[in-house]
Structure 1
Amino acid sequence: MFGSNTQSKRSFILSQQPPQPQVQGEAGLNFDHIKRSIAVASGKGGVGKSTCSVNLSVALAEMGAKVGLMDGDIYGPNVPMMMGVRAAPEVVEGKLKPVEKYGVKMISMAFFLEEDQPVVWRGPMIHGAIRQFLADVDWGELDYLLVDLPPGTGDAQLSLSQTIPLTGAVVVTTPQGVSLADAKKAKVMFDKVSVPVLGVIENMSYFTIPGTGERHEIFSSGGGKKFAEEYGVGFLGDIPLYIGVREGGDEGNPIVLREPDSEPAQAFKAAAKSLMEICDSLGGDGPKKETVYF
């Protein structure tokens, strides 16, 4: 999928013995070139977290920001497919050059795998890959680095918070109770590693019947807003169910570009604007956090 030299590039990501997790803001790493780093997370899989990561990134880039998108889902990387990327990153002077499309710089484990190849790794290797994606990629100057995390509260989430001082996190949920219960666990996890939750997105909030405008709340509605109110975090908006979102993801053409005037595209743009305003309200380059030991 990514060319004949995939093996050599895969060797690059596996070339170092991955370090054991130690502390937040790992010593020896400098991230001054990244103004704000934001984790996009969910407690449960299947809520559309990667869809939100991709569309938020593109929307921020459309607003003039310098944006990077790191696919932190090492076991199930799909950002390249959703962004329509077929080229692999090059290695230049010992650094990976992220692939750029739609104004967004990207890195993903998918660049180092065959199409049907699984990743069967233990936690320390996950930490090593995440560290390399942050330290060994030539991101350049970024206003925002969004990190699309895997669902849950495991190795990738801890490794990220231990490696780079995160500005904060965005939690993606769907309206129904089972998803909200896991989203709350994600919030508690971020509290424990001193990462503020900047906002919540409620995805698949409702479905509007074409032609009639009749609105159906298939998975219930309003849970994301209640979550935000309960925990005192920002509500970035609700995203409707819309076939174009799915089609755009499969085609590698995010909905904010594919159908920029559609209801979900407008919702993603509004969410990106709200996220930008929340980050701006923090002052400077975001909060400075205490080191957290595990």
Structure 2
Amino acid sequence: MDEASLRADMIEGLEHQIGEPIEPPVLTALQRVPRDPFVDDAPRGGAADGDDPHSLSLATVVRLVTALDVEEGDSVLVVGAGVGYSVAMLAEIAGARHVHAVDIDRSAVVAARSNLDAAGYGAVLVDRADGADGLPAYAPYDRILLEAAVVEPPRALREQLAPGGRIVYPRGAGVQTVAAIEPSSARGPDADDAPAPGADANAPPSTGDAEDDPAPAGFETVETHGPARLQPMLVDGEQPGTERNRTRREDAERAERGRRRRHGWEQDWIDWDDRL
């Protein structure tokens, strides 16, 4: 079977899995972005979320990118570059020079840069940074995508969003819901109450200050896409190869500082006869 047929079968299977047709810009990106550079770098091929923190299932990628609602020329920040596949899809839609990505794991940054370059999206900026801090040097962003589960997006990311922009993130712990939020003022009081295309019919109403809307203060949920299971967002010091237990990590750091500290008997020799 040729590549075109395989890709068509993949897309048909994805539409069946997510239960709705794929939006045209996302569909075009799926058809154009090669999979090989990214799948080869994913130990499990991205078959299931949660197995590999750097690789997402195709269904989750489609849900995230669809909810982000990117247009050509939008400035985009991706928190959690992973293997770079979803970053490449966004680069295909918005333009590679408009897309920025960060990851706390240095090895993931190296892999994403290599994969994106091999796929033809080398103009995307991928940097090693704590995702909770965003990438303020290139802010503001029209769209911000978190590829890690959080209860709500960190304040720094919310502050780096352009007026009228949108943040998409997997909301919750365990099995999450892909949520899209926008500043409450972005939708005026006369905004159409009909759900946006592709939105979950069971999503909470976009009422901004509604008590049942789990969006952070000043934001409202405008779309939800269902379920995902992503790894939680890491903070600096929790990347692979680093002790994740904070107490043990800090104890080890204090012990190392103590080992390096100079004690009285280690001070340089002082000739007291010359000093007196």
TM norm structure 2 = 0.32
Larger radius of gyration: 2
Higher normalized contact order (CA 8 Å, seq sep 6+, divided by chain length): 1
TM-score norm. by structure 1 comes to: 0.31
